[in-house]
Structure 1
């Protein structure tokens, strides 16, 4: 009886993970909260599933414009390392 319920639990976990990964593949910019709500699992389960696949949630940060000082300058680095 215990083995049967354990087997069902493991099957459910695998199904949830599969749903999460398919959903992320279909829509990579979905929020983790929305994903958890759609699949019916906790936010922690979503994070653990993504982390297990070396995927990391992120937020796109909009900027008005990149400035010269925003980018490291490889020429200055090379000159500085010579001497």
Structure 2
């Protein structure tokens, strides 16, 4: 999930865009931006970086295993086609 510090930073940047006449409301808007961002991100079906990395490793191992099995299958098919038929 995204770090709270990133959400806070984005909320502050959004609050800084508030027109000068609304500076009094800047803190309130910053808090509202922060809450809205957090709520929106929580609704998304996101995984942590750690979960992503674990699944990436699983996928790489699976691909390697498939490549090995494909090579084995090709060798067995080659052997089978080379044998004389009765």
Q: Same fold (TM over 0.5)?
A: no
TM-score (normalizing by structure 1): 0.32
TM-score (normalizing by structure 2): 0.31
Structure whose residues are more often helix by fraction: 2
Which of the two has higher C-alpha Rg? 2
User: Relative contact order, CA 8 A, sep 6+: which one is greater?
Assistant: 2
